[in-house]
Amino acid sequence: MTVLLQATALTLGIADRALVNDLELTIRTGERWAVLGPNGSGKTTLLHTLAGLRAVQHGEVGWRGQALSGIPRRRLSCQLGLLLQDDPTSFPATVLESVLTGRFPHLGPFGWESNSDLQLAEQALADVDLAGLSGRDVASLSGGERRRLAIATLLAQAPTLALLDEPTNHLDLRHQTQLMSLLGARFGDAEHALLAVLHDPTLALRHCSHALLLPGNGSWHAGQADHMLTAQRLSELYGQPLQLVQQDGLRAFVPGAGD
């Protein structure tokens, strides 16, 4: 396995509040990481820092052994993809025009999309169940459709590592399951990796190989999913009793009885 992204002694905070202290995180090809924690624990702040959108306060973030800050943004965007928590799209565009923006880092200075780029975009739309909507105005889509369009744009970008901020936002149960399986298959092979902020520990358990737990008090816990995603650890993380239910080979976390 190849080391893609590495955080060393990374410290994050907002105002005077420490969110994460001295984080040591290494993401290798073939790994699918879940980031879990209560609201306000620093999950999005961490994701933006790892993507290079937020300056490092203390510590280092490296990409393939090179400081992230020293890599030209366009070149980095060919390898590192980011799915934001909310869709910032505000300009009029069709669904196809929107998904084609994922190909921008791969085009030359005066380049136009090739037939290959169009095929990648159309395939990405089909993968997220949006085939046939290429000509629709993005503004006419539902919240769930817009979320799937954002994921299709990331797929068209074809990065080596995908950083995903709540990828299942606005999705119905069927699309949550389908898209987590799709993302896991696409970025969990021997050449790719993903790190996803999730709110559902069951999705993390079923689709991720590793987990990073952020309580929001500066501490952190990271490791293989089977060791991190236990009822005891998650109950402490969320301050809510959870139970692990197993049936027909499937596992799920459900809320336990409170005090």
Q: Are 34 and 198 in contact (CB under 8 A)?
A: yes
Q: Tell me the mean pLDDT in the region 217-244.
A: 96
Residue from 214, 226, 224, 166 nearest 26 by CA: 224
pLDDT confidence of residue 89: 63
Q: Is the pLDDT of residue 158 over 80?
A: yes
pLDDT confidence of residue 114: 87
* Confidence band of 258 (pLDDT split at 50, 70, 90): low
Q: Are 33 and 212 in contact (CB under 8 A)?
A: yes
The position carrying tokens 């020293």 is 70
Q: Which CATH superfamily is domain 3-79+159-255 in?
A: P-loop containing nucleotide triphosphate hydrolases (3.40.50.300)
Domain boundaries in the chain? 3-79+159-255, 92-158
User: For residues 150 and 20, what is the distance between their CA atoms, to the nearest angstrom?
Assistant: 28
Q: pTM to 2 decimals?
A: 0.94
pLDDT over 70 percentage in the chain? 97
**Which range (14-28, 103-117, 233-247) has the least confidence?**
103-117
Residue from 253, 255, 229, 220 nearest 240 by CA: 255
pLDDT confidence of residue 120: 95
User: For residues 89 and 150, what is the distance between their CA atoms, to the nearest angstrom?
Assistant: 10
Mean residue pLDDT of the chain comes to: 93
